[in-house]
């Protein structure tokens, strides 16, 4: 007799495996939940929308660099540097990204609510004056008697006295026209004003998007004309720095790792922006990111001191310049504005 071996139908085998799969996935889910529960929540605010330059922050979240430091970081868009500083100062957010000069202004006006810069991302201010070649403007001297449009909170407008002083102009030798950020570049493209101020890597691309040919755009970048102001910094409240220093150090290590990766492979890093905002134009944001890297992030000074750091003598001059330009009533001490103690080691921050 031939012994018959009973074979289970494939569907039966699959159904039999279901409980094991459910158990496995359930266990995995419990492990993920447990891991998430072990992470410390950190609320982070940008200064503006999700654009190319925000890639390192988003990359650090998406690739798990913050999580590896024990941090569960959530990132929110902002509505300007002043707002970002206030969000951190009031405790609504733990850490933020804001123009260092907005921090100087806030600290001068609110000395009892200290906030400090801990990682200088933009070694140079991105502020610039833009004009059209057809206007005949090609140097700072050509701006005398002209009308410049910008929002009242624009970094370039607020720092104009510094730009003017370095270039032999009186602060009142131009007329300012207040404009919403959404229409600033449109006013210049339509030749309704003589010039505008804005971030270099923002207004340049916005002008091109409004049909202005690249060769007809004149950009007078503040750092190219004597202005030593620093740009955007990662900021944190003094309370957080004192009570949870290791969290701040971990945040900066993760960000620094993502920034180095962004500098090495911007084409790959910018995809973190489109994953965050599927409506973002990847090619446009890649160009914006590269402009930010070339003009504000990797500078000669950064090659000397490393990413995130500052030079003490320049920091003093930059603070003095901001105090004069913003007409502040007091001058915050450099030690109260920037704290390098939380930076990753120099070897991790070095760039060529």
The pLDDT tens digits of the residues spanning 64-80 come to: 999 999 999 999 999 99
Give the three-state DSSP class for 135.
helix
Residue with tokens 């009142």: 172
64 and 93 Cβ atoms separated by less than 8 Å? no
Q: What is the phi/psi pair of residue 168, to 5°?
A: 70, 25
Instruction: Sketch out the chain's domains with CATH numbers.
Output: 38-124+230-349 (3.40.190.10), 127-225 (3.40.190.10)
In this structure, the number of other CB atoms found within 10 A of the CB of residue 38 comes to 10
- Please tell me the distance from the alpha carbon of residue 338 to that of residue 49, in angstroms, as a whole number: 25
Q: What pLDDT score does 20 carry?
A: 52
Report CA-CA distances (Å) from 59 to 221, 272, 298.
28, 6, 19
162 and 321 Cβ atoms separated by less than 8 Å? yes
Q: Where are the alpha helices (DSSP H) in the chain?
A: 10-38, 55-62, 65-68, 81-89, 100-109, 155-158, 160-166, 184-189, 200-209, 238-243, 245-264, 266-269, 271-276, 282-292, 300-305, 312-326, 334-337, 346-349
| CA-based end-to-end distance of the chain | 81
Length of the chain: 352
Q: Which of 73, 146, 122, 86 is nearest to 293 (CA)?
A: 122
235 and 96 Cβ atoms separated by less than 8 Å? yes
**Tokens standing for residue 273:** 């922006």
Q: Which of 125, 101, 121, 103 is nearest to 113 (CA)?
A: 103
In this structure, the number of other CB atoms found within 10 A of the CB of residue 140 comes to 17
The pLDDT tens digits of the residues spanning 280-334 come to: 999 999 999 999 999 999 999 999 999 999 999 999 999 999 999 999 999 999 9
The pLDDT tens digits of the residues spanning 132-159 come to: 999 999 999 999 999 999 999 999 999 9
- Please tell me the distance from the alpha carbon of residue 245 to that of residue 342, in angstroms, as a whole number: 7
Per-residue pLDDT band for 8 (boundaries 50, 70, 90) equals very low
The pLDDT tens digits of the residues spanning 12-67 come to: 444 444 445 444 444 444 443 445 569 999 999 999 999 999 999 999 999 999 99
- Please tell me the distance from the alpha carbon of residue 100 to that of residue 122, in angstroms, as a whole number: 9
309 and 268 Cβ atoms separated by less than 8 Å? no
Burial 74-107 (b: 16+ CB within 10 A, else e): ebeebebbbbbbbbbbeeebbbbbbbbbbbbbbb
Q: What pLDDT score does 352 carry?
A: 81
On the question of pLDDT at 106 being above 80, the answer is yes
Query: Percent of the chain having pLDDT more than 70?
Result: 89
Would you list the DSSP string of 66-107?
HHHTTEEEEEE--S-HHHHHHHHHTTS-SEEEEEHHHHHHHH
Q: Return the bridge partners of 60, or none.
A: none
50 and 280 Cβ atoms separated by less than 8 Å? yes
Edge to edge, the sheet with strand 147-150 lists 175-178, 147-150, 195-199, 127-132, 217-221
Q: What is the mean pLDDT of the chain?
A: 91
The pLDDT tens digits of the residues spanning 209-241 come to: 999 999 999 999 999 999 999 999 999 998 999
């Amino acid at each position: 007799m031939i012994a018959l071996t009973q074979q289970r139908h494939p569907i039966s085998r699959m159904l039999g495996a279901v409980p094991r799969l459910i158990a496995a996935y359930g266990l995995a889910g419990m492990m993920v939940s447990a891991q998430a529960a072990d992470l410390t929540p950190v609320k982070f605010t940008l200064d503006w929308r999700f654009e190319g330059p925000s890639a390192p922050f988003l990359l650090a979240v998406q690739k798990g660099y913050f999580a590896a430091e024990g941090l569960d970081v959530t990132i929110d868009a902002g509505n300007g540097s002043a707002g970002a500083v206030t969000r951190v100062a009031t405790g609504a957010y733990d850490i933020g990204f804001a123009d260092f000069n907005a921090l100087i202004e806030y600290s001068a006006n609110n000395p009892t609510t200290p906030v400090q810069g801990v990682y200088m991302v933009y070694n140079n201010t991105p502020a610039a004056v833009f004009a059209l070649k057809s206007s005949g403007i090609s140097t700072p001297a050509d701006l005398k008697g002209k009308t410049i449009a910008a929002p009242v909170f624009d970094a370039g407008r607020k720092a104009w006295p510094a730009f003017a002083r370095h270039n032999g102009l009186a602060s009142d030798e131009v007329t300012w026209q207040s404009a919403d950020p959404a229409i600033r570049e449109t006013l210049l493209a339509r030749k309704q004003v003589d010039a505008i101020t804005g971030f270099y890597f923002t207004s340049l691309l916005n002008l091109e998007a409004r049909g202005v040919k690249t060769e007809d755009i004149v950009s007078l970048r503040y750092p190219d004309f004597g202005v030593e102001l620093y740009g955007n910094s990662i900021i944190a409240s003094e309370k957080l720095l004192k009570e949870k220093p290791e969290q701040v150090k971990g945040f900066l290590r993760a960000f620094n790792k993502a920034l180095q990766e962004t500098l090495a492979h911007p084409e790959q890093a910018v995809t973190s922006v489109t994953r965050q905002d599927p409506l973002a134009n990847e090619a446009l944001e890649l160009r914006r990111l590269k402009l930010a890297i070339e003009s504000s992030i990797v500078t000669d000074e950064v090659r000397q001191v490393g990413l995130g750091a500052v030079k003490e003598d320049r920091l003093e001059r930059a603070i003095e310049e901001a105090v004069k330009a913003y007409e502040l009533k007091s001058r915050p001490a450099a030690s109260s504005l920037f704290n390098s103690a939380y930076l990753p080691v120099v070897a991790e921050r070095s760039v060529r």
